[in-house]
Amino acid sequence: MPVAVTGANQGPAGQQGPQGPPGPAGKIELVTCRSVTKVIHHKRRKRKLCTTKLVSGPVRFTTAATVRATLTRANTVFAAGTARTVGGVLRVALARRRPLVPGRYVLTLRSRHGAVVRRIRVTIA
């Protein structure tokens, strides 16, 4: 016959067991963008063409002159991380939240206080 144990009948807590092994490292997606000019309906249009690469190994994020970055499509966040300008080139390090498929996305850069600094339409090839 089962016996119900209530809080008043419990003894002191036992020792905590050993800690389990660490989980797998997070996945960091590096997004590299460049400007390209396309001719659409006989008009020249500038677009951002972006490629992605999964980064392995330790990644260091710094806070000097960095902004928060999110990569969205149809109001869904696919990746988030930081962005900073190094030598005139925007470097973006994103941690993937969902699988990225080729298509158009919006890269949003926000200041430390949440204000939108810049929105860039990008195409993932």
How many whole angstroms separate alpha carbon 66 and alpha carbon 64? 6
pLDDT higher than threshold 60 for residue 7 = no
pLDDT tens by residue, 54-100: 776 666 654 456 788 999 999 899 999 888 877 777 788 888 899 88
Average pLDDT over residues 96-115: 85
Look at 29 and 123; give whichever has higher pLDDT.
Answer: 123
pLDDT higher than threshold 70 for residue 8 = no
Least confident of 1-5, 56-60, 113-117: 1-5
| pLDDT value at residue 72 | 93
How many whole angstroms separate alpha carbon 1 and alpha carbon 100? 55
Number of H helices, E strands in the chain: 0, 7
- Tokens standing for residue 104: 């158009």
- Tokens standing for residue 101: 């498929």
**pTM for this structure?**
0.50
How many whole angstroms separate alpha carbon 55 and alpha carbon 93? 9
DSSP state of 123: E
Beta strands in 12-102 (DSSP E): 28-40, 43-55, 67-73, 76-86, 89-96
